[in-house]
Chain A
Amino acid sequence: MPRPHDPARGASPEWLAELRAGSPDAITACYREHASALLTLAMRLTGERADAEDVVQDVFVGLPEALRRYEERGLFAAWLRGLTTRHALGIHRRVRNRREVPHGAESLTVPARSAEPIGDAAHIERALGTLSDNLRHVFVLRVIEGHSHAAIAAFLGISVGTSEVRLSRAIKALRSQLGDLI
């Protein structure tokens, strides 16, 4: 099977062709190379491990079909992250907790901070998890993924101004959460 990734040229055309054809070997190779990063991204967007795994699974189930619309401009990994982002936000939008429903659902969605000592990596992911969905999405998309506010606004169906305001609030909240690490 062709090499999935050429550092100099990105994804090789031969390998992409196999992936488009739905070759299990090509899908497996792609999964081995990219799934962990995509799972981390999906986890940060959905806030739940199980949802994140669903997102990654969906992405790899539909990847050959989605690749037919990939024009091989730009890095394949970046395209894959964009695909995962859109799908994660789509899934999250459909299955998210409906906070306008009464019975105190909102208070249940933000996990309490554990008193147990945990590693830095878990600490920062947990800090991110304490943000509301609205703030977390904007922070991840802007600061980590580097999307513009215009793109984020389109992703989330909000205005650019709203996106900027949410970013400020997210940074402020994370600053207090991560004070000992930054």
Chain B
Amino acid sequence: MSRYVGHPDDESLVRMARGEEQGSESERISAHVAACADCVARLRDIQSMRALFADAPVMPAPDAVLAEALERRARQERVLLAHESPRAEATASVAWRRLTPLTIAASVAIAAFTLWPRGETPAVAERARVADSSIAPKAPPPPASDNALGALSPWPLVAYAQSASDVLEVPYPAITVFDTTAVQSGTRRYVRSSASPYHDYMPIGAEAIELRDTTYDGVRVWRVVTSAPLEASIMTDTAWIRRADMRMIARHIKIFSNTTRQRLLRGDTVLEQQHVIRLPVEVQGKIDPSKLRHTSHTAIRPGQLLVTDRSYFHLLVRSLPLHPTWKGSIDVNLGRSGNFSPMIFQKTRSINVSVQGDSVVSTLWGNIPSWRVVLHTGPTPERWYVSKAGHEVLLVTGPYAMAWPRNRFDLIGRYVK
């Protein structure tokens, strides 16, 4: 039976153009086309398009791409390219795998034998975890408000200050215990505030953090997508964090309408960063592509938890089993200015994190009991106020000043349209 009534559809003409149509269907279409000027033109268009693309010259493949590929293989890096059914790949598409079974096993072993926290017995630690589970966020986030802001996010709209600069080394035990059941999928929107006393509540930007439970390379991961509008572009930062140990295994950063893009891949012993400058189509091919790509490598300790940005740290905080005496240390990648940097990593340092009391934070949705989590990032430490129910980071105060979402009116009136 014919696929069409009247004129054949584009798919039928494509099959004709590709010589895929056979038998009576082909005869029917041919008969119609022979008598229909419109369909003759349509078929000719499709044939021309196909010929145009088939005959178009191929893009010369730069030697730099081959050189990088060979170099990566020489470093014993392997990429598993999915070769199962397309459907299977659609759900678990594979790109980079540097984590051999041996290294994964090593990571698990390291996590299993890491001190928790130093000076405490396992029994104390276990009690702490049990105690913490009583405040773990089993309930959904606070209900949305009945005003327009409620549609923005199921979480409180919060403000936080810029990060600190200097970082100190303090011998706290490394953070290795996470409660991933405390993390929930969803999207959060943050208003970033300079928190300067001269610019009370002055917003310096807004960002959305989307968290999804998914798979990467067959491994169950959290996918964290941070998007932030810049002056003339948009930055999206996507990180894949292995749920088993909360270690980031890959990250992509893109700045749209701009010319840079960064890809970061984390092995167990190396952090690879690729920076690429994108060119407009008109000038592509006129500049040596190897000049536009830069790859660098940073050695990292096996099993090291490495925080690369603020949104990743938000995620970790949500999964930490916080309690009144909780403490730990964490390795972070720092940028040129010494704080979390989304683009250029310059050095890796350890910072200490501890709970120092609690507090009540006033937010748009009322007063929320919170842990006061201190990051020993310098002479003036950074304080993160983390809700006890949900571990949402409500507020960050830094060495510069304080950001404080006092009430709904202030934030709506000044910062939210």
Contact = CB atoms under 8 A, between A and B. Distances in A.
Contacts of B284: 49
Interface in A132-157: 142-144, 146, 149, 151, 154-157
Contact of B83 (A24, A38, A69): A69
B263 A143 contact: no
A54 B208 CA distance: 27
Given A50-B278, A95-B238, A121-B57, A101 B46 contact: no
B52 interface: yes
B66 A65 contact: no
Contact of A65 (B11, B81, B292): B81
B79 interface: yes
A28 B71 CA distance: 12
Contact of A49 (B77, B225, B279): B279
Interface residues of A, number: 81
A38 B66 CA distance: 13
Interface residues of B, number: 75
Given A36-B58, A56-B65, A157 B289 contact: no
Interface string B314-328: 000000000000000
B95 A94 contact: yes
B278 A86 contact: no
B252 A171 contact: no
Contacts of B292: 50
B10 interface: yes
Contacts, number: 218
B140 interface: no
Residue picked from B61, B72, B74, B293, most chain A C-beta under 10 Å: B61
Interface of B: 9-11, 14, 17-18, 20, 44-46, 48-50, 52-54, 56-62, 65-66, 68-70, 72-74, 77-83, 85-87, 89-91, 93-96, 208, 210, 216, 225, 227, 229, 233-234, 236, 238, 252, 254, 256-257, 261, 263, 274, 276, 278-282, 284, 289, 292-293
Interface of A: 22, 24, 27-28, 31, 35-40, 43-44, 48-50, 52-54, 56-66, 69-70, 83, 86-87, 89-91, 93-95, 97-98, 101-105, 108-109, 111, 114, 116, 118, 120-122, 124-126, 128-129, 142-144, 146, 149, 151, 154-157, 164, 167-168, 171, 174-175, 178, 181-182
